[in-house]
Every structure is written in structure tokens, then in C-alpha cells.
Amino acid sequence: MDLDDILGANPDDPLTALLREDLDRLSMVELEARVVALEGEIARVRRKIEGAVNHRASADALFRS
């Protein structure tokens, strides 16, 4: 799977820029900080997904009654 297949064709998208960034220029400390920041962002996105799923389930239950 190609990066364009995942991200789409918008080259100005910040996520696209992040994923294409050259990591060779970063120090070990900078790479570790980046990992910590990205793990935090992953956790934030997972919480958002969980909230959306729970919200949808609550709405579905309300309208089934």
C-alpha cells in the first residue's frame, strides 16, 4: 500500500508532511520526543473514536426503545 493510498492526494495536509519528513536529521532525543508526542496523539484519537462509538450506541439504543 502506497502512502498516497492512505492519505489521499492533498500534499498540504499536515499528516502527509509529517509522514514524509526526513528523520535522518533528527537526534535520538528528538526522535524519542517525537515518539512520545505521537503516542499521546494516538491515545487522544483513540479516546475520540471510543467516545463517538459510545455516542452512536447510545443514540441507537434511544431510538430502538
Tell me the C-alpha to C-alpha distance, in Å, between residue 14 and each of 10, 32, 53: 9, 20, 26
Q: 23 in helix, strand or coil?
A: coil
Place of cell 499536515: 14
Mean pLDDT for each 10-residue chunk of the chain (65 residues)?
A: 66 86 97 98 96 83 74
Q: Which helix (H) or strand (E) holds 31?
A: helix 28-64
**Between the CA atoms of 29, 35, 41 and 46, what dihedral angle is there, to the nearest 10 degrees?**
-160
Residue 11 has φ and ψ, to the nearest 5°, of: -70, -15
The pLDDT assigned to 13 comes to: 87
